[in-house]
Amino acid sequence: MIAETPRSPIARLTELRHFMGPSRELWPPLAESLGDLAQADRCLLALGTRPAPAAETPAPVPAPDASAPEALQWGRLHDWSRGNVDGPANGLLNGQLVALATITARDGTAVRGLSVQGAFVVALRLPVLSAAETCIAICLLTQTTEVMAKASLDRLLLVQDTVYLAQEFRQARDGAASQQRLGETLEALAVVQDQSRFYAAGLALCGGLADRFAAERVSLGWMRGPSIQLRSVSRTERINRQMELAQALEAVMEEAVDQGADLTHPAESGGWITREHEKFSTQHHAPNISTFLLRAGEEVVGALTVERAASALEPAETQQIRVVLDLLGRRLDDLERRDRWVGARLGAWVRQRASVLIGPRHTWAKLLGLGVFALVLVLFLVRITYRVEGNFYLRAEQLAQLGVPFDGYIGQAFVRPGDVVTNGQPLLQLDIRDLVLEEAAAAAELQRYQRETEKARAAGALGEMRVAEALSRQSAARLAQLRNRLEQASMRSPFDGVVIEGDFHERLGQPVRQGDPLFRVARLDRLYIEAEVPERDVHELSGSDRGEIAFLSQPGLKFPVAGRMLEPAAVPRQAGNVFLYRCELGQVPEAWFRPGMQGIAKLEAGRRRLIWVLTHRTIDFLRLHLWW
């Protein structure tokens, strides 16, 4: 048994259970104490950690079991040895460290003999707070026996909870410290919150932090435009900003504001520029300086500088100050704004609103707002020509419809619809063979009656002469009728134009009756536009409007037109009533113009605001149905 002395291994291990220093300083004395307790020549502490789970594992390869000891990643915490242990036993141990640590993590303890006379390895698992970590102690014993090695393991088992208790003690101590810091933070907040003026709140904040953290000086600066001004200093009622100290403090604060980060001197790693802090530390004998930013939302509104000569601020103290400033930033900003005179408050309000509008933040929202504003201006200020739209048809000023002059048969057709014809050009020839025969018979009959008249006159038969003269006149009229029909048998165009109806090339020999329509011929030099104006837009036209038309067959071509006459009566159509608006072409008709062509006509009805053009139909609909 090992003697219980004040500095025995067990006593040292008992002290380690209440260890107060950093965690990295725990492992060397622990390894030495465990080695002495086990009477080992070497004691190694290893820490196994489980790797973080992969973000994505390929499907064919199963994910490893993170809870298995084989999945741990091992690292050395400390390696203690008693004198020089270079030898075969130590070399064998180095080659088996990972395997031995894995077995011990699984089984809890391990006693293994090495292939060297009298050399054994004793290992045990040390409990820790973190479930993701495993701590192993491995001891090398030389010149011993297996029984003595197991006895050493039993002694180690008595103190294997040392690491767990030390971590638990630290956790409890940190919790108590956190509660104490929380209480102090709440006290500092309460003192500042009770103030109703910015100057008093600043003095309370600086004085409270100086007393709590034993600082020589705590200074508060506040943003005024692009620069910062010193506003409060602990244990100082009046500040002369012309003094060298005040200007130096402002330079220190501006250095932190320009970089947008808390700065410390001596500087920690991080790449921040601390030239002004170093300069202030040298000139004013302030070895430790820390500057913290105050924010209201995301905007930096001030800075606070803490000077302490004894030591630099601990991380816990830095965090406590940071929490206090984060909670008081908005309150101090409100007090500072409230204490300004009326003109300054108004200017700050205008500047804040202007910064929201023209600042670099919320770019898309501002672009959207500007776009909406520009759209509103365009809708209400820009005037465009409003045009009434409707269908149109190309009509001919003169249209001749040729019918059958007498009963007969179609003998020969000369034209088709679409053919351009001239004045007097034959269009169709009726069959005249029967008329020619009848003409010959009528001519013979006329001669016979004329001879009978002459014969009766020579014989002095007055009565027979009168009868023969009457029959002669009757035959002459019949002959004139037949000759007239022979002339009418050839149907001719009454003027220059185009045939728009009548195709009889496949109806030769077909009988026709007197009065049946055969051809329609329209003049091409006298065309006009007949536009159909919807009833809802007819009030916008004056009767002498100008516009443009586009044919369905040539939508890419636009032709000017001028209004001539708006018919007073509506004409029903399937889509609603329309008014016929007669318009004249503003140019000579093209060669391809044909009566009956249609398209879209747009007639100018004056200039209107764009908002009216887009909404007047909807407004009219609502007025009509809601009876506005």
Of the spans 62-66, 383-387, 451-455, which averages the highest pLDDT? Answer: 383-387
The residue with greater pLDDT, 341 or 294, is 294
Residue range 121-125: mean pLDDT, rounded: 93
- Write out the two tokens for 196: 């109703």
Pick from 495, 396, 479: nearest CA to 439: 479
Res 7: pLDDT: 64
Torsion of CA 403, 409, 412, 417, to 10 degrees: 40
Q: What is the pLDDT of residues 585-624, one digit of tens each?
A: 988 888 888 888 999 999 998 899 999 999 988 988 888 8
Torsion of CA 173, 178, 179, 185, to 10 degrees: 150
Residue range 18-39: mean pLDDT, rounded: 85
Pick from 134, 581, 101, 102: nearest CA to 387: 581
Res 578: pLDDT: 93
User: pLDDT band at residue 490, thresholds of 50, 70 and 90?
Assistant: confident
Q: What is the DSSP annotation of 334-353?
A: HHHHHTS-HHHHHHHHHHHH
Answer whether residue 305 shows pLDDT above 60.
yes
Answer whether residue 138 shows pLDDT above 90.
yes
Res 188: pLDDT: 65
| SS3 (DSSP) at 3 | coil
Q: First and final CA of the chain: distance in angstroms? A: 109
Strand-pair partners of 573: 576
User: pLDDT band at residue 183, thresholds of 50, 70 and 90?
Assistant: low
CB 425 within 8 A of CB 458: no
Res 59: pLDDT: 42
Answer whether residue 316 shows pLDDT above 90.
no
User: pLDDT band at residue 241, thresholds of 50, 70 and 90?
Assistant: confident
Single-letter amino acid code for the residue at 147: V
Res 1: pLDDT: 39
Q: What is the pLDDT of residues 546-581, one digit of tens each?
A: 999 999 999 999 999 999 888 889 999 888 899 999
Strand-pair partners of 399: 522
> How far apart are the C-alpha atoms of 188 and 174, rounded to whole Å?
21
Cα–chain center distance at 355: 24
Laid out side by side, the sheet with 490-492 consists of 490-492, 426-430, 408-413, 511-512
Cα–chain center distance at 17: 59
User: pLDDT band at residue 3, thresholds of 50, 70 and 90?
Assistant: very low
| Buried-exposed string 146-178: b where 16+ CB fall within 10 A, e elsewhere | eebbebbbebbeebbebbebbbeebeeeeeeee
User: pLDDT band at residue 253, thresholds of 50, 70 and 90?
Assistant: very high
> How far apart are the C-alpha atoms of 205 and 333, rounded to whole Å?
13
Mean pLDDT of the chain: 85
Pick from 576, 568, 583: nearest CA to 535: 576
> How far apart are the C-alpha atoms of 426 and 564, rounded to whole Å?
36
User: pLDDT band at residue 406, thresholds of 50, 70 and 90?
Assistant: confident
Answer whether residue 57 shows pLDDT above 60.
no
Answer whether residue 123 shows pLDDT above 60.
yes
CB 490 within 8 A of CB 518: no
Domains of the chain: which residue ranges? 9-52+63-171, 195-351, 432-487, 526-626
Question: Over pLDDT 70: what percentage of the chain?
Answer: 91
> How far apart are the C-alpha atoms of 318 and 338, rounded to whole Å?
30
Res 182: pLDDT: 60
Any residues with CB less than 8 A from the CB of 228 and at least 6 apart, and which? Answer: 221, 222, 250, 253, 254, 257, 302, 303
- What's the Cα-to-Cα distance from 135 to each of 31, 105, 158, 159, 255, rounded to whole Å? 12, 8, 16, 14, 46
Which residue in this structure is represented by tokens 């027979």? 464
> How far apart are the C-alpha atoms of 533 and 545, rounded to whole Å?
12
> How far apart are the C-alpha atoms of 254 and 249, rounded to whole Å?
9
Residue 601 CB-density burial (10 A; 0-12 exposed, 13-18 middle, 19+ buried)? buried
Answer whether residue 452 shows pLDDT above 90.
no
The least confident of 147-161, 502-516, 527-541 is 502-516
| SS3 (DSSP) at 167 | helix
Total residues belonging to the chain: 628
Res 579: pLDDT: 93
> How far apart are the C-alpha atoms of 550 and 392, rounded to whole Å?
9
| Buried-exposed string 419-442: b where 16+ CB fall within 10 A, e elsewhere | bebeeebebbebbbeebeebbeeb
- What's the Cα-to-Cα distance from 294 to each of 136, 253, 298, 352, rounded to whole Å? 47, 11, 10, 18
The residue with greater pLDDT, 451 or 344, is 451
- Write out the two tokens for 20: 């107060």
Using alpha carbons only, what angle is made at residue 115 by residues 111 and 120, rounded to the nearest 5 degrees? Answer: 30
> How far apart are the C-alpha atoms of 572 and 543, rounded to whole Å?
20
Residue range 289-300: mean pLDDT, rounded: 92
CB 128 within 8 A of CB 167: yes
CATH superfamily assigned to domain 526-626:
Efflux pump adaptor protein, beta barrel domain (2.40.30.170)
Of the spans 62-66, 163-167, 594-598, which averages the highest pLDDT? Answer: 594-598
Q: Thinking of the domain 195-351, which architecture would CATH place it in?
A: 2-Layer Sandwich (3.30)
Cβ count within 10 A of residue 551 = 20
CATH for 9-52+63-171, options being 3.30.450.40, 3.40.50.2300, 1.10.3720.10, 3.40.50.300: 3.30.450.40
- Write out the two tokens for 71: 């999945």
CB 266 within 8 A of CB 312: yes
Fold: same for 9-52+63-171 and 195-351: yes
Res 54: pLDDT: 53
